[in-house]
Amino acid sequence: MPDPNDMRAQLLQHVFSAIDELNQQLPPAERIAKSEASVLTGSDGALESLAFLNLIVATEDRVNAALGVSINLASLLMESDETPPPRNVGELVDLIATRVRGPDHG
| 33 within some domain | no
| 64 within some domain | yes
Mean residue pLDDT across the chain: 89
Domain of 69 in residue numbering reads as: 4-20+39-101
| 30 within some domain | no
Whether 103 shows a pLDDT value over 80: the answer reads no
Whether 51 shows a pLDDT value over 80: the answer reads yes
Choose between 2 and 96: higher pLDDT. Answer: 96
What number is the average pLDDT over the span 18-26? 96
Distance of CA 86 to the CA centre of its chain: 8
Determine the pLDDT at residue 106: 45
- Residue 39 phi/psi, 5-degree rounding, is -75, 130
Whether 78 shows a pLDDT value over 80: the answer reads yes
Q: What is the DSSP string of 43-87?
A: TT-SS-HHHHHHHHHHHHHHHHHHHT----HHHHHHH-SSSPPPS
d(CA 22, CA 38): 14
Is 17:34 a contact under the CB 8 Å cutoff?
no
d(CA 50, CA 102): 27
**How many separate domains does the chain show?**
1
Determine the pLDDT at residue 72: 92
| 31 within some domain | no
- pTM (global) more than 0.85: yes
Is 74:60 a contact under the CB 8 Å cutoff?
yes
| 15 within some domain | yes
| 69 within some domain | yes
Instruction: Give the residue among 61, 71, 62, 78 at the shortest CA–CA distance from 96.
Output: 71
